[in-house]
């Protein structure tokens, strides 16, 4: 039944993930990121640390770092943020940063210029294998999600990500969430098929 295909929705505000080398450069040699709050996905957390994103047009201060550290730095922003910074960041699944934009990161102890890694995150749903069975989907499938309300909308090309450690949650950026007038605690209904996507991301 349709009620079985409901998914909670979270708005993901601009943030970044840092590699070890960039943590050292921005916060000092050997610095360890500190936990501010746990996130919906197990093992992921918001850090107390923030940095400034510096683009050719303007800067955005106090951008939250998310942990744990990654192999390569990645910055996730919205289209509105791109306009403010003066850069063009493509829509990509997390980790798919080949051919993406770069910018300067400014921390309390130094600056880092990254040549790539700035993206608009592809809208996606995290789910466990049990959730995937219930929804009738598999990892890297594409679905549509309908959201009701006064500014109801159907989100096309929503990437499904399945892992044993994932908890059910759909992630949108702030532009997408605002377009549908979403609020904390919002839900959507997954619609399989009819998606317009033409190619799935690489591993």
> 2-10+123-192 has which fold?
Barwin-like endoglucanases (2.40.40)
Largest CA distance in the chain: 54
| Residue 184 DSSP label | T
Instruction: Name the one residue in this structure whose structure tokens are 């069975």.
Output: 133
**For the chain, domain boundaries:** 2-10+123-192, 13-121
| Alpha-carbon distances, residue 169 vs 12, 13, 50, 86, 178 (angstroms) | 11, 15, 25, 31, 17
Q: How far apart are CA 108 and CA 160, in angstroms?
A: 37
Instruction: Name the one residue in this structure whose structure tokens are 């605002």.
Output: 178
pTM across the whole model: 0.89
pLDDT in tens, the chain (203 residues): 455 799 999 999 999 999 999 999 999 999 999 999 999 898 999 999 999 999 999 999 999 999 999 999 999 999 999 999 999 999 999 999 999 999 999 999 999 999 999 999 999 999 999 999 999 999 999 999 999 988 999 999 999 999 999 999 999 999 999 999 998 899 999 997 666 665 444 44
Q: Note the pLDDT of residue 192.
A: 75
| Residue 73 DSSP label | -
């Amino acid at each position: 039944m349709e009620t079985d295909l409901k998914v909670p929705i979270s708005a993901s505000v601009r943030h970044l993930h840092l590699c070890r080398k960039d943590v050292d450069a921005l916060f000092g040699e050997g610095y360890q990121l500190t936990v501010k709050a746990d996130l919906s996905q197990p093992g992921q957390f918001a850090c107390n640390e923030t940095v400034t994103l510096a683009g050719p047009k303007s800067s955005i201060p106090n951008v939250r770092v998310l942990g744990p550290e990654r192999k390569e730095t990645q910055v996730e922003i919205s289209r509105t943020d791109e306009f403010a910074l003066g850069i063009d960041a493509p829509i990509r699944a997390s980790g798919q940063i080949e051919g993406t934009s770069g910018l300067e990161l400014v921390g309390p102890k130094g600056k880092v210029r990254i040549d790539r890694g700035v993206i608009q995150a592809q809208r996606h749903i995290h789910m466990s294998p049990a959730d995937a069975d219930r929804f009738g989907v598999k990892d890297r499938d594409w679905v549509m999600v309908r959201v009701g309300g006064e500014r109801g909308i159907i989100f096309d090309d929503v990437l499904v990500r399945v892992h044993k450690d994932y908890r059910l949650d759909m992630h949108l950026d702030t532009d997408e969430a605002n377009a549908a007038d979403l609020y904390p605690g919002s839900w959507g209904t997954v619609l399989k098929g009819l998606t317009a996507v033409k190619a799935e991301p690489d591993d």
